[in-house]
Amino acid sequence: MTKLSVNINKIATIRNARGGNIPNVLTAAINCQLFGADGITVHPRPDERHIRYRDVLDIKPIITTEFNIEGNPNDKFIALVLSVKPDQVTLVPDAHDAITSNAGWDTVKYKSYLTDIVSTFKKSGIRTSLFVDTNIENIEYAALTGTDRVELYTEPYATEFATNSVKAIEPFVRAAEAARKSGLGLNAGHDLNLDNLRYFHQNIPWLLEVSIGHALISDALYLGLENTIQMYKRQLAG
């Protein structure tokens, strides 16, 4: 069964736009789990423009499913993850000023760097995942770092899906097969939504987890959070 991890960054974005604590990210995390989410994802950035480091510390005690922390592994991020000890850490090479994640790791270039960081997290019992594109070499080198999983960066799939779904999925199937051959678990995320998620899952049935935030929270504005989570879960059931 493919798990649905709900990224609640956008809840924090709305809160931060006004100040105060409305909407409450802790309540959002609790409700997402009650409504059927298999996990909660947060992606703290250095400027704390959405999820704050304090939020991560506060959220940890109320997680009853799975906690996934994403981010670029600078010293502050590494210290945060080691103190919180989530179920999974997803390492993403996003620049400090990036609007959103927009590329996977060059694992050939950063193999030694990533190997050291992965080892640090695994020694603390934290499952590791590297954010990668569909370049087969990057996936093979990801395996050499000792990571447990890779997360496929799916924006290219989402962009092309509406015009040519078959062409859009092909490189992701090849990448997924390469990951499986290399002994890696497989996650996916970025711009997956109610239109394209089912097709992605049908073509990569051994997918372990998807992390979805922007589209799901946006859909929830119209459809309600509980209904939206259940709708996403149904896309992963068929």
Q: Which residues are catalytic?
A: 43, 70, 190
Cβ atoms < 10 Å from Cβ of 159:
12
Helix (H) or strand (E) holding 18: helix 9-18
Measure Cα distances from 183 to 143, 178, 198 in Å.
Answer: 7, 9, 24
Retrieve residue 131's tokens: 């954010």
Q: Say if residue 238 is exposed, middle or buried (CB neighbours under 10 Å; 0-12, 13-18, 19+).
A: exposed
Cα separation, 183 vs 145, in Å, equals: 12
Q: In one letter, which amino acid is 35? A: F
Q: What is the mean pLDDT of each run of 10 residues along the chain (238 residues)?
A: 97 95 97 98 93 97 98 96 98 69 86 98 98 97 98 97 98 98 97 98 97 98 98 93
Global confidence as pTM: 0.95
Provide Rg for the chain, Cα atoms.
17
Q: Is 42 helix (H, G, I), strand (E, B) or coil?
A: strand
What single-letter amino acid sits at 69?
Answer: I
- What pLDDT is recorded for position 102? 61
pLDDT at 178: 98
Please state whether 146 falls in left (phi above 0), alpha (psi between -120 and 50) or beta: left
| Cβ neighbourhood burial of 13 (10 Å; 0-12, 13-18, 19+) | middle
Does domain 3-235 correspond to CATH entry 3.40.50.1980? no
**Spans of all domains in the chain:** 3-235
pLDDT score for 106: 95
